[in-house]
Structure 1
Amino acid sequence: MLNVYSRARDGETLLSRSFRAKEFACKDGTDPLFVDSELVQVLQAIRDHFGAPVVITSGYRTAAHNRAVGGAVYSQHQYGRAADIRVSGVPVEQLAAYAETLLPGTGGIGRYPAKGFVHVDVRKAKSRWAG
């Protein structure tokens, strides 16, 4: 389910045991922000599995910000269904492999070893790529 939050009013709101709304906010400072609850569940499972914080380097993006950072035209970030993440001490391949167990026949998983992050999204179709 897609939820809308105000960065200013709801930024400190816990969306799960480990994630606050502000962590998903667009880096351009806009308000509001959108977050799919299924994405939060996947990220919480990753956090619980590795026992370490999941850092969201990019969550929700406005269309303008997505264009500015060179995101895909129909990027799942624009719909609140994607996050680029890293976990300190966990290699990209290991992080992506665990995400695979959570999204076996669905969702998007992109591996970006040179940049040190994994893209995870909760789209209905299955998509995999390396960047």
Structure 2
Amino acid sequence: MNEQLLKNTAIDEDSAIASRRKFLKQLACGSLLALGGSEVATAAVRHVIHQGRHNYALPRRTTTQPIQSRIFTRHSQTDSLDISYPAYKTLSFEHAHTGDKLKLTYFEQGRYIKDALQEINYLMRDYHNDDIHPIDTALLDQLFDLKQTLGVTKPFHIVSGYRSPITNAQLRRHSSGVAEHSFHMQGRAIDIQVQGVATKTIKNAAIAMAKGGVGYYPRSGFVHLDTGEIRSW
């Protein structure tokens, strides 16, 4: 009788240890965040594109952009996790030249969402010739931080997104303000406006963030952002 009791006790201890290990493994993977109703676990991919004056069919696209974000930082062997970034990041756009509108979540659960990045690549295409180029995810994060800094929910009006080398060369013939090796040609720059927000206010907020290049064009009514070195003009 005592021998059987000891045997059952040993089995129960083994089960408890296995359950504990399973719990810690799930916690490390972040799966238990769902228990608290966290938006990390429940937030769905939300993106809608409304085409404007150009009725192009949305092509199938692929991107090879690497995952560049890390959402969890481990501090010790006790599986303590620090959430260093927002659970998800959402942006809204409206293209000044095509009329295209887009609202989406492009980052969620520590990952950039491939389909959302493709939608952004298309929206920010060179509208002169429809060339598409991958947009730097660091630029998207810069826009997200700017949105948070300004405390706005209105869309970013895109004056200029990606520019093909041909378009950039053509613009240089008519304006001395277009750089020969513009970051626009690398998908690393954007010129924006925000309805109801002064251009100077946008400029000051962007400079305060110190995330990259900031150009101020009050006469044209837009602010330039890029992921180059921290500088302003």
- 2:230 aligned to which of 106, 118, 126: 126
Question: Gapped runs of 5+ residues in structure 2?
Answer: 1-57, 62-88, 93-118, 173-177
Higher helix share: 2
Higher relative contact order (CA 8 A, sep 6+): 1
Per-residue deviation, 1:68: 1.4
Question: Could you tell me the TM-score, scaled by structure 2's length?
Answer: 0.46
Q: Percent identity?
A: 30
How large is the Cα RMSD of the aligned pairs? 1.8
Alignment pair present for 1:24 and 2:129: no
Counterpart CA distance in 2 for 1:79 and 1:68 is 17
Any idea what SS the aligned residue of 2:216 has? strand
Per-residue deviation, 1:32: 2.8
Question: Could you tell me the TM-score, scaled by structure 1's length?
Answer: 0.78
How many correspondences in the alignment? Answer: 115
**Partner residue in 2 for 1:4:** none
**Partner residue in 1 for 2:201:** 94
Counterpart CA distance in 2 for 1:53 and 1:32 is 21
Alignment pair present for 1:50 and 2:166: no
Instruction: Please say if residues 133 and 186 of structure 2, whose CA atoms lie closer than 8 Å, have aligned partners that are also in contact.
Output: no
Per-residue deviation, 1:56: 1.2
Any idea what SS the aligned residue of 1:25 has? coil
Counterpart CA distance in 2 for 1:55 and 1:47 is 12
Q: Which has the larger radius of gyration?
A: 2
Alignment pair present for 1:117 and 2:222: yes
Question: Gapped runs of 5+ residues in structure 1?
Answer: 1-6, 11-15
Any idea what SS the aligned residue of 2:91 has? coil
Any idea what SS the aligned residue of 1:50 has? coil
Counterpart CA distance in 2 for 1:31 and 1:52 is 27
Counterpart CA distance in 2 for 1:42 and 1:99 is 9
- 1:8 aligned to which of 59, 64, 77: 59
